[in-house]
Structure 1
């Protein structure tokens, strides 16, 4: 009986968390309008911001995206001057790196992106912000594990 009550209660909490993430996503969509770069561009540049040029294949593998998706996104970012092609001596492979323009835009967007989070954390105060981050890290790990396990057990869309 206690286990049934606990499962029902945890299901209610899960629904509450899902609703909260919808609210956060709605606020984030409004906030995202202030970014200079699009989400795909930010993700590409974040991956490449370590200064290590990569092949399209390596980008695809690290980003866990189909190569055709990466090709399309990289070509758009190249055309916008956010990325650049380069070669290493003795290699025929073309590498992709972040351009100065792309890195500058990414840094500007990073400051913008942190602004709302910093403001919210300041409202919570140091102790609650620290506790929140620790719990959120644990939740993110648990959620990632749960989604990976469930996708592999029952398939992507089965219930």
Structure 2
């Protein structure tokens, strides 16, 4: 990574980001390595909510698979966001790559170690998308001040007295 010295004003923010990443990692580990699917007890409620949405006119493609995919994207969005914000602008793209690799590792561990969990390539893609979106959000945030602003018009100069 960039080994440039970090200005003193940015150090507290970097420490907070590191603390946020650590807290997120603990939460993520709890969710992904829980022995049973975390939505197991909620599946009936989710099915009822989906039936209600369908009765109100929601299209049929709004189903459990979509909800699960959106949840996976949302689960890894903070990973991309926090890691990209922690990295220097030159290297923040790595957050998306790291998110995808971590997701693949998690799914492999679930497949090998947790028989009650279902590891799928679909989850890896959704998690990777979440990390990429978090990374893009950091790029967007950082670039908000770099847009070209119109030049300010200078007031006309007054002619010097006696010229």
> What TM-score results when the alignment is normalised by the length of structure 1?
0.28
User: 1 or 2 for the larger relative contact order (CA 8 Å, sep ≥6)?
Assistant: 2
Higher helix share: 1
Q: Which of these two proteins has the greater Rg computed from alpha carbons? A: 2
